[in-house]
Structure 1
Amino acid sequence: MPTLVKQLRGIGGCTQPVRLDGHRVEHAVDTRTGEIGRVLHRLDSASLPAGNLLVRCNNRRATRCPACAETYRRDTFHLITAGLRGGKGTPDTVTRHPKVFATFTAPGFGPVHNRPTDRRGTVRACRCGLLHDTDDESLGTPLDPATYDYEGAVLWNAHAGMLWRRFSIYLRREIAKRAGLTQRDFADFARVSFAKVAEYQKRGAVHFHAVIRIDGPEGGDTPPPDWATAELLADAIGAAAAHSRVDGPVVDGRPHTFAFGKQLDVRAIRSADFDGGQELTERAVASYIAKYATKGAETATGALDRPLKFLAELAQLDISDHARRLIRTAWTLGARKELEDLRLRAWAHMLGFRGHFSTKSRRYSTTLGALRTARAEWRRAQAAVITEDESDTTLVLSHWVFAGIGLSYAEAWLAASLEPALGTEGEPT
């Protein structure tokens, strides 16, 4: 039992670990002759108390694995924070670079139940005549499902990533225009860096939260030009968002063109409180963005957190009628030959959205991969057993095969009662 406890603590609370069969052998190597010597360490999966090697699933979705999702959230927090105030290989001089927090919404596809407010922030009655509570399940659902544009909503999600890329191109043009530069000359003076996450609104439409920063020509390592200000950046973002368009498919004679919604919110990131419409702090922005990095369509709309294999499954699932209609629409559109590149059936559970939930430009800050590598190296250093006669050079031979996913009932019961081993639960934020 103690050895099983140790193995389960080592997966840091993961509820869906990957089970592997195989072995890992470390041999000493003679650095002068290259000869492979004695065996230093050997690990066989059959000798482990769980009968397999257990590896964390690293799923970012909180509905699938809360522990791994929390690690992902914390990594995202550090990634965003590094781009705001430095650290993790990013110079702290980025603190002085102009930057904003922007929210890009989706267009409308028909009236939905909501909680409108007046200028004083007082909640008014919905168009249906009711005053909805904040947890009312009808929020975000259509007032009239029969006339709601489900086709447009699904295709918007499918093209949202392309629209963001188009916006990124236009943003550089708009900044260059305000600086009196040509697009070609702009790269010699400045660079635009960003990090963004996608979030589902309750109606099932994707929108984006982004940190956008102006750097010098080499990124965060170089200072931005004197003309670069948060005000100039905000103005350029507004113009670029207004001009960004993506032509979509023609479905049954109906053409689709996609643009951002009218509700664009751009706020400078400086050093004040996050609430009450004040300017934003770096920590508040990083926390806000990281919160959405572990959520998907299932969190906002009550949809699915896994792909569908057959449409017949839909009738057996406990999901909202609105989510069911969106998924069914994506599945139906996915059967059309002219839309096969959108892979709508594969992404029906995501309501058509097939982009990455968390993305960043190359020079914004560190990477999630670098953070994972640093954590893995720290764990290895903590677990290493060094002996005086152990060779500095080793050859590692390993062979692993997939054996399944998840824990047995007994393992799950025991794991739920354990505290994760030190260093497996992520860093506190």
Structure 2
Amino acid sequence: MATQSTTPHDADWRRAFLAREARIRALPEIDQDLVRLGQLPHLGRWLEQVRATGGCAAPIYLSGHTTTFDTATGGVLRHYSTEDEPGGRLAVRCRNRRATRCGPCSREYVGDTFQLVRAGLTGGKGIPETVRDHPRLFVTLTAPSFGPVHRAGTCHSVSRTACEHGSPRGCGQQHGDSDDCIGQPLCPHCYDYTGHVLWNAAAPSLWKAFRDNLYHHLAARAGVGRTAVRGLLRISAAKVAEYQKRGAVHFHAVIRLDGPTGPDSAPPAWATAVLLADAVRTAAAAIALAPPDSAAIGDIRLRFGSQLDIHELSSGDGGRITDEAVAAYVAKYTSKSVESAGAVDRRLTSLAEIRALRVTEHARALIATAWHLGGLPELEHLRLRAWAHMLGYRGHCLTKTRAYSTTYGQLRADRAEHARALAGSHDLFTDWDDGTVTDAVWRFVGQGHSPAEKLIATGIAEDLAASRDIAAELARDRHDGPFRR
């Protein structure tokens, strides 16, 4: 039998290879992953993909192809396939708006929201600049009280009496804005957790009822019929939901009066900002929704709270609140969620999981109440168990009327078109122009980073953020000059 001879060179190579493998296995997990990543044959292209996603923390990976044909000749104008990409896949943004999940994508979402809200205040993005002269308000609608909670500044005055459960009725201490006790009930046993969760669940319906009711109150003040008023003006609005420290949702809204055809027409002369503000007050106070009949709930009515803030937005420079400040204020809340109330940003599956959460007892009680109410057949349509982690609220973070301004989809399409123009290429997922047809097949193949990939993506996201800060600083210097700070 013939034997294969081993040269000294082969033996040395094998010993070196085995020694190298042993060193890699001895490294911590992340170091092993860095070694693996450094040996990728297409590392440069993978880095390009990560930069293209802005350092997304949890990119979505797709595989597939797209082919663009000329409909007249049948010729192939362009073909792209992920076969030549690293791992045979293409990374795209996760587009998660929550800063706790993905910082780069939430920043982009905040930027889009700022542009969307500002366009409805100042014009642009397809909205005429004349909207500046329409009656405009910045309104905050709050939830009612479900029981006294600790608050910033001077807390509730100390009382000599106690509640029926033996807890003091006051606090009397000074709480800073970052104090952990803010929003926690003075007596958890007195707190109306059922009413709180049901109010959060009904908040989207309360907003819709308020908007519909606003037309009726405008009609009453103008002396026109409820049907006729909709042919004279249109209410355009955008609102964002914010969680207070106590876990109750409240709404910040921009409300604008347009003419009957939308932002391109002016409202009637009698439709002033003062009249709109009066109508907002009475319309909000008149809302009272009844929850579904249930022995566990009792006879309650869901209303807005008595705290109602209304600010008129002036088209002049002397306004107390600028349009840009309002747009920035609304936009910042799109990256925040229930975690600001001490809860969690993921769905829950069992009571055991709720008991094990590292949250405040107040947040745990709200989540558990939502879970309990979600098990009642008469409340099944509210899907409270699916939204227990959101304390019962299942509405969108930001909503707007159709005519208020542009859309997120249009903003993303404009950004993609701008990127194509800079790159001198065309988007992979859309047709070039008329006279072409695109055949595309894509499938989901994974999401997220390995430990080393996450480390590198985080560094890229930080570098991009630093570059943006430097560019902003240079822009301010060019605008203000070096001596006007």
Distance in 2, Cα, partners of 1:351 & 1:273 = 41
Q: Does 1:186 align with 2:229?
A: yes
- In the other structure, the counterpart of 2:276 is 233
Give the match's secondary structure for 2:143: coil
Structure 1 position 405, deviation (Å):
1.4
Distance in 1, Cα, partners of 2:49 & 2:321 = 43
Structure 1 position 385, deviation (Å):
4.2
Distance 1:273 1:303, change over 3 A: farther
Q: Which amino acid aligns with 1:40?
A: R
Structure 1 position 283, deviation (Å):
0.8
Q: How does 1:333-352 map to 2 (within 5 A)?
A: 333-352=373-392
Distance in 2, Cα, partners of 1:38 & 1:361 = 42
Output one character per residue of 1:10-69: Cα deviation in whole Å (capped at 9) or x when no partner: 111210111123x214254361xx43x35733322x432254211111111111111111
- In the other structure, the counterpart of 1:53 is 90
- From 326, 329, 336, give the equivalent of 1:295: 336
Structure 1 position 332, deviation (Å):
0.7
- From 88, 105, 112, give the equivalent of 1:75: 112
Whether contact under 8 Å (1:125, 1:131) holds in the other structure is no
- In the other structure, the counterpart of 2:60 is 18
Whether contact under 8 Å (1:272, 1:279) holds in the other structure is no
Q: How does 1:195-274 map to 2 (within 5 A)?
A: 195-252=238-295, 254-270=298-314
Whether contact under 8 Å (1:271, 1:279) holds in the other structure is no
Distance in 2, Cα, partners of 1:180 & 1:7 = 60
Q: Which amino acid aligns with 1:264?
A: L
- In the other structure, the counterpart of 1:120 is none
Whether contact under 8 Å (2:120, 2:131) holds in the other structure is yes
Q: How does 1:267-346 map to 2 (within 5 A)?
A: 267-270=311-314, 279-298=320-339, 300-346=340-386
Distance in 2, Cα, partners of 1:263 & 1:287 = 22
Structure 1 position 380, deviation (Å):
2.8
Give the match's secondary structure for 1:210: strand
Q: How does 1:143-182 map to 2 (within 5 A)?
A: 143-182=186-225
Give the match's secondary structure for 1:249: coil
Whether contact under 8 Å (1:24, 1:42) holds in the other structure is yes
- From 435, 454, 460, give the equivalent of 1:412: 454
Distance in 2, Cα, partners of 1:39 & 1:97 = 48
Count of aligned positions:
410
Give the match's secondary structure for 1:24: strand
Q: Which amino acid aligns with 1:333?
A: L
Distance 1:270 1:205, change over 3 A: same
Q: Which amino acid aligns with 1:107?
A: P
Whether contact under 8 Å (2:237, 2:400) holds in the other structure is yes
Distance in 2, Cα, partners of 1:243 & 1:8 = 52
Whether contact under 8 Å (2:150, 2:156) holds in the other structure is no
Distance in 1, Cα, partners of 2:55 & 2:84 = 22
- In the other structure, the counterpart of 2:47 is 5
- In the other structure, the counterpart of 2:429 is none
Distance in 2, Cα, partners of 1:116 & 1:170 = 36
- From 99, 110, 123, give the equivalent of 1:86: 123
Distance in 2, Cα, partners of 1:212 & 1:302 = 30
Q: Which amino acid aligns with 1:250?
A: D
Whether contact under 8 Å (1:58, 1:69) holds in the other structure is yes
Distance in 2, Cα, partners of 1:9 & 1:26 = 25
Give the match's secondary structure for 2:299: strand
Whether contact under 8 Å (1:112, 1:139) holds in the other structure is yes
Distance in 2, Cα, partners of 1:241 & 1:350 = 24
- In the other structure, the counterpart of 1:132 is 175
Q: TM-score, normalised by structure 1?
A: 0.89
Q: Which amino acid aligns with 1:111?
A: P
Give the match's secondary structure for 2:174: coil
Q: Which amino acid aligns with 1:366?
A: T
Structure 1 position 133, deviation (Å):
1.5
Distance 1:391 1:216, change over 3 A: closer
- From 70, 82, 102, give the equivalent of 1:29: 70
Name stretches of at least 5 consecutive residues in structure 2 with no aligned partner: 1-42, 159-169, 427-431, 476-485
Whether contact under 8 Å (2:144, 2:306) holds in the other structure is yes
- In the other structure, the counterpart of 1:380 is 420
Distance in 1, Cα, partners of 2:98 & 2:113 = 13
Whichever structure has more helix as a proportion of its residues is 2
Whether contact under 8 Å (1:116, 1:124) holds in the other structure is no
Whether contact under 8 Å (1:10, 1:421) holds in the other structure is no
Structure 1 position 229, deviation (Å):
1.1
Larger Rg: 2
Q: Does 1:397 align with 2:439?
A: yes
Distance in 1, Cα, partners of 2:210 & 2:71 = 57
Whether contact under 8 Å (1:28, 1:391) holds in the other structure is no
Whether contact under 8 Å (2:50, 2:457) holds in the other structure is yes
More displaced, 403-412 or 47-56? 47-56
Q: What is the RMSD computed on CA atoms of the aligned residues?
A: 2.6
Q: TM-score, normalised by structure 2?
A: 0.79
Distance in 1, Cα, partners of 2:317 & 2:381 = 44
Distance in 1, Cα, partners of 2:222 & 2:369 = 45
Whether contact under 8 Å (1:77, 1:286) holds in the other structure is yes
Output one character per residue of 1:177-213: Cα deviation in whole Å (capped at 9) or x when no partner: 1111111111222111111001111000011010111
- In the other structure, the counterpart of 1:107 is 144
Q: Which amino acid aligns with 1:88?
A: K
Distance in 2, Cα, partners of 1:165 & 1:392 = 40
Distance in 2, Cα, partners of 1:234 & 1:393 = 52
Whichever structure has more strand as a proportion of its residues is 1
Name stretches of at least 5 consecutive residues in structure 1 with no aligned partner: 118-122
